[in-house]
Structure 1
């Protein structure tokens, strides 16, 4: 982690004795930045379009559910059901990737989510909305697992944090614009954002189908024929030795993997659960604001995360994974606990931005940790799916538990639960060894 500085200091100490001191080259201090394959850039562009559509729907969904005269808990369930189906169908997604290949699984998953979104726009009652939204989770887990597998295999080992930041950053840019646009579109009817989301996903499917032909499935492993060597390729990407499979039991034996499952759960609880289900309702009920403020709050959270992503991925590749995850858990956990006690829009936006900053600090390091555990030379479908399931489980339980606390007490205790969950993960990470290579 501090090897570059150690080499530098030892060199200077030695040079002080010599009559003509020399200084280390840049190669001595740090490895050269790895060139990213073209396929990663295509996936990043697709992620941006997905995020715009998702951000448009996010601030509208809980309020659309409440338009059917249901409780806060029932409205939160509509958010959670998406994560529930992702959780249930995650193992199936790994199997589909092995049978169909990453590219086809990705495209099919995107089309399923698009059809689900379009159906939500025409839901006639709460139960139809619940079913349609839940079906979208099946497609979501398909393209998520496929994309994670591609990114891990294509990313150079020395740039895993940077690739994760780039991919996550594309989502954040979409999330910055999406909620604000969604709040404005809601003025024309709550159905319109769902139709715009479906159109964005159709565009993503077209982009991947036409611009990602260089990835092909070869017995469950990905081979890049152009734009850089695929991860694990033996010679320039022209071929690849058959990859061994990392058993889930072996991964669970590593403290770092067990710890990243807890931080994934905490991030799912906070960033994908509480933020999406409770923050829009809090803006309306506690602050007396409309959909526009709810959308801006989600965008502000995304801005905070985006700011962190500009440096957190690089720091995860230099300082290590553990320091970034610990700092992210602390910042996000404390901010989410404070959020429920904000009394005006200024503090609401400011604390939302700080919470987003914490999420951005740990996000790239978490994904890089999973990549370190699997490695470029192995396949880890079940390991990937389990990590995704940990985040989805947090996104499922978080909104339901928070909705129950709101109905029984108030918003303050509901947001404090996110702080408690982050603290538990923090304690899991303390004794874990940093997996940074």
Structure 2
């Protein structure tokens, strides 16, 4: 049965495919806003706190290298269970950390686990969802992560207010990971529900090879694959690397900014959670825009909005109304990010070769995650050398550069296709 002939509905995969992702991302969303605070409580400077927060993204980048091997060898569900267990170990290290260096190691381990968890779910959606639903399905997956990043900080804010302890937030991630393991063990495996993906047919009717041969290709030759697809990765890959960079800068810079203007931990988590609600509300609209009008109508407005938001933020730090500006810019950045939900995964699926997509997707994710890992390090460095306002301004300029690159290359590499559904 081909991918377009196989019956598909979001309802049929909602619990088994999306609920574990939601639970995992709730835990991750809970700890991200308080990482700089936890680092500061252990004696880290503002710049060092930003560097420690960047370990999530750096861990994801490093985790991309073995994640394809793990998923291909042990399967999607087992990979996700293992990733949840590794995340629990990382969070336990954070809970017991006597200094910020040990905290950094725990956060790095969480990033590695996140890479495996995310790749396993992305691989399933790419293999089983018909191409005519691709953008909506992948933007929904992106929306699930955003849903967790919305709910997690709100829970964190309530827990901090109730306990008076920042460290207590790490227990939210532990409970979320345990919940995702229970769901993965209790509910049917989506791969078994939809059957093996040994042969998949694209919209043009051409059969593509998947299964073990594709898994073996994913296991080996990441850098060889990058070299083979260097033309598209230099152009389109550089563009999405900037997309990932600006997004990850936002997840580090906004909590760090709250620390720099004196916001409390609970208020920081509450504001970031409310901004996450706006982000989450737009995920399906992003998929509809991409499927109906083309990928660039989601990607370019998103990057322009993110760039302008960071530029405005750069000039608001020393104003008497800095908190109000922080809230307003947080919401604006969430709108800009929300309308681009799923764009990196969707472009990767569009550009992947029809015969063996897995090696390309691994190289694509690595390119995007390189930008995601680099941006927080740049933010930390610029904060240490100049100021946090300067770091925000640089991120704003990079956002506008990314919008220009995508405007130049999306029409060339991903031309709009006629609607099929």
TM range (shorter): 0.7 to 0.9
Aligned Cα root-mean-square deviation (Å)? 2.6
Q: Is the 8 A contact 2:43 2:99 kept in 1?
A: no
State which drifts further: 67-76 or 82-91.
Answer: 82-91
Q: Is the 8 A contact 1:122 1:191 kept in 2?
A: no
Say which SS state the counterpart of residue 261 (structure 1) adopts: helix
Aligned-pair distance for 1:233? Answer: 3.8
Which of 262, 269, 284 pairs up with 2:259?
A: 284
Q: Is the 8 A contact 1:336 1:418 kept in 2?
A: yes
Which of 68, 82, 103 pairs up with 1:94?
A: 68
Name the structure 2 match of 1:83. Answer: 57
**Measured at CA, do residues 281 and 138 of structure 1 come closer, stay the same or move farther in structure 2, by a change above 3 Å?**
closer
State which drifts further: 82-91 or 106-115.
Answer: 82-91
Q: Is the 8 A contact 2:154 2:274 kept in 1?
A: no
Aligned-pair distance for 1:260? Answer: 4.2
Name the structure 2 match of 1:388. Answer: 365
Name the structure 2 match of 1:362. Answer: 340
Name the structure 2 match of 1:119. Answer: 93
Larger C-alpha radius of gyration, 1 or 2?
1
Structure 2: segments with no counterpart, 5+ residues: 1-6, 218-224
Q: Deviations over 1:107-135 (max 9, x none)?
A: 21121112211221111111111112212
Equivalent residues in 2 for 1:324-339, closer than 5 Å: 324-339=298-313
Q: Is the 8 A contact 2:64 2:115 kept in 1?
A: yes
* Higher relative helix content: 2
Which of 186, 190, 206 pairs up with 2:182?
A: 206
Say which SS state the counterpart of residue 83 (structure 2) adopts: helix
Name the structure 1 match of 2:240. Answer: 264
Name the structure 1 match of 2:194. Answer: 224
Name the structure 1 match of 2:350. Answer: 372
Name the structure 1 match of 2:46. Answer: 72
Q: Deviations over 1:68-103 (max 9, x none)?
A: 112122111212222222212312111122221222
Q: Is the 8 A contact 1:52 1:178 kept in 2?
A: yes
User: Normalising by the residue count of structure 2, what TM-score does the alignment of the two structures yield?
Assistant: 0.84
Q: Deviations over 1:160-208 (max 9, x none)?
A: 1111221122222222221122123234212211122111111101212
CA distance in 2 between counterparts of 1:339 and 1:395 reads 20
Q: Is the 8 A contact 2:143 2:341 kept in 1?
A: no
Which of 288, 292, 304 pairs up with 1:318?
A: 292
State which drifts further: 186-195 or 151-160.
Answer: 186-195
State which drifts further: 385-394 or 172-181.
Answer: 385-394
CA distance in 1 between counterparts of 2:238 and 2:15 reads 30
User: Are residue 128 (structure 1) and residue 125 (structure 2) matched?
Assistant: no
